[in-house]
Amino acid sequence: MAISRNALVAGNWKMNGVSASLAELKAIAEGVAGGAAGTAACAICLPATLLARGAEIAGQHLLVGGQDCSAETFGAHTGDLAAEMLRDSGASLVIVGHSERRADHGETNAVVRAKAEAAYRAGLTAIICVGETRPQRDAGDALEICGAQLEGSLPPGATPDNTVLAYEPVWAIGTGLVPTVDDVAAMHAFFRAQLKALLPHGGDALRILYGGSVKPDNAESLMRIDNVDGALIGGASLKAKDFLAIASVYA
Ligand code: PEP
């Protein structure tokens, strides 16, 4: 029997956004509250500097999240943010293992898993990102690479409530390039089988997002693919009009 999963449309503002940008967040919150995304859940992962103010603006219908957290709880880790701090600022979720973190900060699967566990301890949902580079895809290794990332990054305590998986091919992020529908379908089906094997009691219900150059004009074809349970959106989440147009696939 096919299981129905409530879609999640999540934005990632990355290192973008100052006080003036909160007007876009307000417009997103108003659109979502007005039913723009139907029953899909919507979230924006903000820079930490905007989180507390963003949480107030987001209100009841739009979730806000962080973009990374420390694997540690509290202590002498200058410049890092504990998952508890994000939660205290109003976050409900946090991205871990984004390819920009893996590349810029050398985050390994073990580190990503520890961060996801820190998120769980704080009561946050972890959006765990995995994805292959272009050379890895060209070599025919995409499934193997992404499968190993998933297996290494997913904590044994993952459940459909505390974890969302995001498939983000590195070469599709910020480039305007997207994989074919068949390639996305194959990858998400592969993840689904792997999740069911790793989490016999939750693998079927855990959401798998697609991320990488999702735009209003390609959202529908990507979101309709089997086992695509929503989107993780970078650039297009910075503008309320574009984010809401993508979310409206679920209206
Ligand atoms: C991202 O970095 O998570 C992302 C999906 O970016 P973009 O939508 O800009 O490709």
Give residue-wise pLDDT tens across range 15-58. Answer: 999 999 999 999 999 999 999 999 999 999 999 999 999 999 99
Give me 130's structure tokens: 């995995």
Reported confidence tier of residue 4, pLDDT bands at 50, 70, 90: confident
CATH label of the domain that carries residue 50: 3.20.20.70
Cβ atoms within 10 Å, residue 121: 14
Task: Tell whether 63 is covered by a domain.
Answer: yes
Give me 200's structure tokens: 């016999």
Task: Tell whether 2 is covered by a domain.
Answer: no
Nearest CA to ligand 1 atom 1: 234
Task: Tell whether 132 is covered by a domain.
Answer: no
The per-residue pLDDT for range 111-136, each reduced to its tens digit, is: 999 999 999 999 999 999 999 999 99
Say what the pLDDT of residue 1 is.
44
Distance CA 58, CA 87 (A): 15
Say what the pLDDT of residue 3 is.
63
Look up 117 and say whether it is catalytic.
no
Give me 52's structure tokens: 């507390």
What is the tally of structural domains in the chain? 1
Beta carbons of 222 and 187 less than 8 angstroms apart: no
> How far apart are the CA of 97 and the centre of ligand 1, in A?
13
Answer whether 245 contacts ligand 1 (Cβ < 6 A): no
Helix axes 142-153, 181-198, angle to 10 degrees: 40
Number of H helices, E strands in the chain: 10, 8
- Which of 98, 100, 107, 132 is catalytic? The answer is 98
243, pLDDT greater than 90? yes
